[in-house]
């Protein structure tokens, strides 16, 4: 990289030249990672000896929180290749990559996940004492089920800053969202200084997005929205109806139509599906469709590659000569590399893949299609494909240097289409999901000793994104809360509501023996069980189950818990 791009140039005077907290909302591919780099360099500049170009004081920490474990290694690589000359140590700390205490000690830039950083800071604030800069990537995740983790981390950090009077700079990086002001307020960003919003027009390659909802009906119904970043219009139209079929069959057909149109225009296409088996099944389906219509000539690569005959996988060996490949985590590393290379070189026209490819490999295509949004998770029911995955996949559309635009389509169920459309085009406000895991988070704070009474808990809550949204939009969190009231009574209602949810949570934690709520002193104290739940990230429901099955009893005199194992 030689020069800053447009958005980086606009942010630079604040990011690199000041200590302001910063929130940057910008589209995928806009170059937000390098804004983090600017902030990191600003911190390093403070501790560097300009003569020797080494760290005069290496005893500082910068933490980069990325929700995708798969990206952590890439970020470490990116940062350390630039910072190694200054002897700045950059390391990954995730479930895949553990660090010993000594290693953490000598690391300057820690790249980690929200959950990992949450667990570390639940145990002690020793490490956070040295924290200078906290970077939170993909902060729009606040809206996701993992959002409460980010809220907990930020609230803990902000309170620590006030308690210890140690400045820690916060940097939030986000996709575009409709209520960035709320996120800025949550991060204590000064609105006229550190707040930057760049809309879709700042995407390096304009993106045409299409959201298609399919419903089983007489025949079946389709709702389609088209959003273009260059025209910025949304329109709905009814596509042709197919005869009555299973919804999966309709999705297969719809996806084929889009793939076919692109192939006849000589574009490459990536199709994203949600299981390994489905990658093979759908690649086979497409090969048959093209063969049956005699249009398979359009799939032929410009030049034949000798690699096409080199696969270990029988299915790839069979499909690749037709110009269609598939990719999933079950393939041998070698086969995966060949598929990637063949697609990159244009020998394969279509690639059917699972979402892992969107994260791990930088493979762009003119068009991407997501076929369906139902994802089967092991031990869970069907869950919705996450908005993060969709953003990552849509970000793969359009090849820099080759295309003037990209084409991205999401095919989903009819009743889900507005949900995805709203989130992807940032018309739905992002809300807090904090209440869903407040018990666990409160338990963690009590265990850490940073909350020791209900009134202190109430103060703590005021540092969350939940509180920001609650003040703005209370009825989302409780029906009719503060409705039709003047500002003063509305405020009082909100205070009562906070009191009520806290008493509720405290009572439940007390009954589960994770904390003790002393009725005389009103103090909240942690117990061994509470500390176990906090340190090992165990849900309160699981703790309850565990105590019941192991028949754990409490020795009233010593306060110790006794296991009753026969
Ligand atoms: N100033 C620059 N000059 C040239 N290339 C750049 C510059 N800044 C960033 N890039 C490149 O642009 C690509 C996208 O950057 P980056 O991953 O930071 O985007 P992002 O805004 O974080 O997007 P996402 O929302 O997908 O995370 C990367 O390949 C990066 O190397
Ligand atoms: Mg990014």
Q: Output the CATH code of domain 6-202.
A: 3.40.50.300
176: confidence class by pLDDT, cuts 50, 70, 90: confident
Q: List, as ranges, residues with CB under 5 A of the ion ligand 2.
A: 32
E strands in 255-379: 269-272, 324-327, 350-353, 367-371, 374-376
Q: Output the CATH code of domain 207-424.
A: 3.40.50.300
Q: Three-state SS string across 24-73, please?
A: EECCCCCCCHHHHHHHHHHHHHHHEECCCCEECCCCCEEEEECCCHHHHH
450: confidence class by pLDDT, cuts 50, 70, 90: very high
> Residue 390 in contact with residue 234, Cβ under 8 Å?
no
Residue 230 has pLDDT above 50, yes or no: no
pLDDT at residue 332 in the model = 92
The residue count for the chain: 566
Residue 229 has pLDDT above 70, yes or no: no
pLDDT at residue 231 in the model = 44
Which comes out higher in pLDDT, residue 44 or 128? 44
Residue 238 has pLDDT above 70, yes or no: no
Task: For residue 526, list its beta bridge partners.
Answer: 515
215: confidence class by pLDDT, cuts 50, 70, 90: confident
Instruction: Give the CA angle between residues 437, 443, 446 to the nearest 5°.
Output: 140
Atom of ligand 1 nearest to the CA of 4: 1
Contacts of 139 (CB under 8 A, 6+ apart): 23, 150, 172, 173, 174, 183, 187
Pull the structure tokens for residue 459. 């103060």
Q: Does the beta carbon of 34 sit less than 6 angstroms from any atom of ligand 1?
A: yes
Mutate to test the pocket of ligand 1, among 1, 25, 29 (most ligand atoms within 8 A of CB): 29
**What is the Å distance from ligand 1's center to 32 Cα?**
6
Residue 423: helix, strand or coil by DSSP? Answer: helix
Q: Does the beta carbon of 418 sit less than 6 angstroms from any atom of ligand 1?
A: no
Contacts of 528 (CB under 8 A, 6+ apart): 560, 561
> Residue 93 in contact with residue 111, Cβ under 8 Å?
yes
Share of the chain above pLDDT 90, in %: 60
Residue 166 has pLDDT above 60, yes or no: yes
Query: Please, where in the chain does CATH 3.40.50.300 lie?
Result: 6-202, 207-424
Please spell the DSSP secondary structure of 252-289, one letter per residue: HHHHHHHHHHHHHTT--EEEE-SSHHHHHHHHHHHHHH
Dihedral angle at the C-alpha atoms of 5, 8, 10, 12, nearest 10 degrees?
A: -130
Residue 448: helix, strand or coil by DSSP? Answer: helix
> Residue 361 in contact with residue 344, Cβ under 8 Å?
no
Residue 232 has pLDDT above 50, yes or no: no
Question: Mean pLDDT across the chain, nearest whole number?
Answer: 89
Q: Whose CA is nearest to atom 22 of ligand 1?
A: 32
Q: Whose CA is nearest to atom 15 of ligand 1?
A: 31
150: confidence class by pLDDT, cuts 50, 70, 90: very high
Residue with tokens 């494909």: 385
**What is the Å distance from ligand 2's center to 331 Cα?**
27
Please spell the DSSP secondary structure of 187-230, one letter per residue: TT--TTTTEEE--GGGSSS-EEEEEEEEEEESEEEEEEEEEETT
For the four alpha carbons of 27, 33, 34 and 35, in that order, the dihedral sign comes to positive
Pull the structure tokens for residue 420. 């995805």
pLDDT 10s digits, 469-526: 999 999 999 998 988 888 899 999 999 999 999 999 999 999 999 999 988 888 999 9
**What is the Å distance from ligand 1's center to 44 Cα?**
22
Which residue, among 390, 14, 422, has the nearest Cα to 179 in the 3D structure? 422
pLDDT at residue 454 in the model = 94
Residue 240 has pLDDT above 70, yes or no: no
Residue with tokens 């009719």: 480
Comparing 114-118, 177-181, 219-223, 454-458, the range with the smallest average pLDDT is: 219-223
Comparing 27-36, 348-357, 557-566, the range with the smallest average pLDDT is: 557-566
397: confidence class by pLDDT, cuts 50, 70, 90: very high
Q: Does the beta carbon of 32 sit less than 6 angstroms from any atom of ligand 1?
A: yes
Query: Looking only at Cα atoms, what is the longest distance across the chain?
Result: 83
* Across 35-62, average pLDDT: 93
Comparing 113-127, 174-188, 266-280, the range with the smallest average pLDDT is: 113-127
**What is the Å distance from ligand 2's center to 26 Cα?**
9
14: confidence class by pLDDT, cuts 50, 70, 90: very high
**What is the Å distance from ligand 2's center to 35 Cα?**
10
Residue 69 has pLDDT above 90, yes or no: no
pLDDT 10s digits, 293-348: 999 888 887 667 777 778 999 999 999 999 999 999 899 989 999 999 999 999 99
pLDDT at residue 460 in the model = 97
Comparing 77-81, 174-178, 192-196, 496-500, the range with the smallest average pLDDT is: 174-178
CA separation for the pair 436, 116 (Å, rounded): 19
* Across 177-201, average pLDDT: 93
> Residue 355 in contact with residue 395, Cβ under 8 Å?
no
Cα within 13 Å of Cα(19), Cβ side: 10
223: confidence class by pLDDT, cuts 50, 70, 90: low
Query: Please, where in the chain does CATH 1.10.10.10 lie?
Result: 434-562
pLDDT 10s digits, 242-269: 555 678 888 999 899 999 999 999 999 9
**What is the Å distance from ligand 1's center to 133 Cα?**
21
Q: Whose CA is nearest to atom 25 of ligand 1?
A: 28
CA separation for the pair 136, 222 (Å, rounded): 38
Name the architecture of domain 434-562: Orthogonal Bundle (1.10)
Which comes out higher in pLDDT, residue 349 or 550? 349
Residue 156 has pLDDT above 90, yes or no: yes
Atom of ligand 1 nearest to the CA of 35: 18
pLDDT at residue 317 in the model = 94
Q: Which listed ligand is nearest to 140 at the C-alpha?
A: 1
pLDDT at residue 219 in the model = 47
pLDDT at residue 221 in the model = 55
């Amino acid at each position: 990289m030689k020069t800053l791009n447009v958005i980086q140039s606009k942010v630079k005077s604040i990011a690199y030249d000041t200590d302001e907290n910063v929130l940057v909302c910008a589209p995928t591919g806009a170059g937000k990672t390098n804004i983090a780099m600017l902030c990191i360099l600003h911190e390093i500049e403070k501790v560097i000896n300009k003569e020797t170009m080494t760290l005069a004081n290496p005893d500082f920490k910068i933490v980069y929180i990325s929700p995708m474990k798969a990206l952590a290694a890439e970020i470490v690589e990116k940062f350390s290749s630039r910072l190694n000359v200054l002897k700045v140590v950059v390391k990954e700390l995730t479930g895949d990559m553990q660090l010993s205490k000594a290693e953490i000690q000598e690391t300057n830039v820690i790249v980690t996940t929200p959950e990992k950083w949450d667990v570390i800071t639940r145990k002690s604030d020793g490490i956070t004492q040295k924290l200078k800069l906290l970077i939170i990537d993909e902060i729009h995740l606040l809206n996701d089920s993992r959002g409460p983790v980010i809220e907990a981390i930020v609230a803990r950090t902000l309170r620590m800053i006030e308690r210890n009077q140690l400045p820690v700079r916060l940097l939030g990086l986000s996709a575009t969202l409709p209520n960035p002001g709320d996120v800025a307020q949550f991060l204590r960003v000064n609105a006229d200084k550190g707040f930057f919003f760049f809309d879709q027009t700042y995407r390096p390659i304009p993106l045409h997005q299409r959201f298609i909802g399919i419903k089983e009906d007489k025949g079946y119904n389709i709702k389609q929205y088209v959003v273009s970043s260059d025209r910025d219009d949304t329109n709905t139209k009814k596509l042709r109806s197919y005869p009555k079929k299973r919804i999966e069959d309709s999705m297969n057909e719809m996806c084929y139509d889009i793939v076919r149109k692109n192939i006849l225009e000589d574009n490459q296409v990536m199709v994203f599906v949600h299981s390994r088996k489905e990658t093979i099944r759908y690649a086979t389906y497409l090969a048959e469709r093209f063969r049956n219509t005699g249009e398979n000539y359009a799939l032929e690569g410009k030049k034949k590659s000798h690699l096409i005959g080199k696969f270990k996988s029988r299915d790839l060996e069979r499909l690749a000569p037709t110009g269609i490949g598939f990719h999933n985590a079950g393939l041998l590393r070698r086969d995966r590399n060949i598929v990637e290379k063949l697609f990159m070189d244009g020998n394969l026209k279509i690639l059917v893949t699972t979402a892992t490819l969107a994260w791990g490999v930088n493979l762009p295509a003119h068009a991407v299609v997501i076929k369906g949004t139902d994802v089967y998770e092991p031990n869970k029911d069907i869950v919705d494909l996450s908005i993060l995955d969709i953003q990552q996949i849509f970000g793969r559309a359009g090849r820099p240097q080759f295309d003037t635009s990209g084409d991205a389509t999401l095919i989903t169920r009819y009743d889900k289409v507005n949900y995805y459309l709203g989130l992807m085009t940032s018309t739905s406000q992002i809300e807090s999901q904090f209440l869903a895991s407040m018990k666990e988070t409160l338990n963690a704070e009590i265990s850490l000793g940073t909350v020791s009474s209900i009134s202190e808990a109430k103060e703590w809550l005021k540092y969350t994104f939940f509180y920001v949204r609650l003040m703005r939009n209370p009825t989302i969190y409780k029906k009719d809360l503060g409705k039709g009231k003047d500002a003063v009574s509305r405020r009082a209602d909100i205070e009562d509501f906070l009191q009520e949810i806290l008493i509720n949570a405290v009572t439940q934690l007390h009954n589960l023996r994770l904390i003790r709520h002393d009725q005389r002193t009103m103090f909240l104290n942690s117990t061994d069980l509470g500390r176990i739940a906090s340190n090992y990230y165990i849900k309160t429901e699981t703790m309850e189950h565990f105590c019941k099955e192991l028949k754990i009893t409490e020795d009233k005199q010593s306060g110790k818990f006794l296991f009753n194992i026969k």
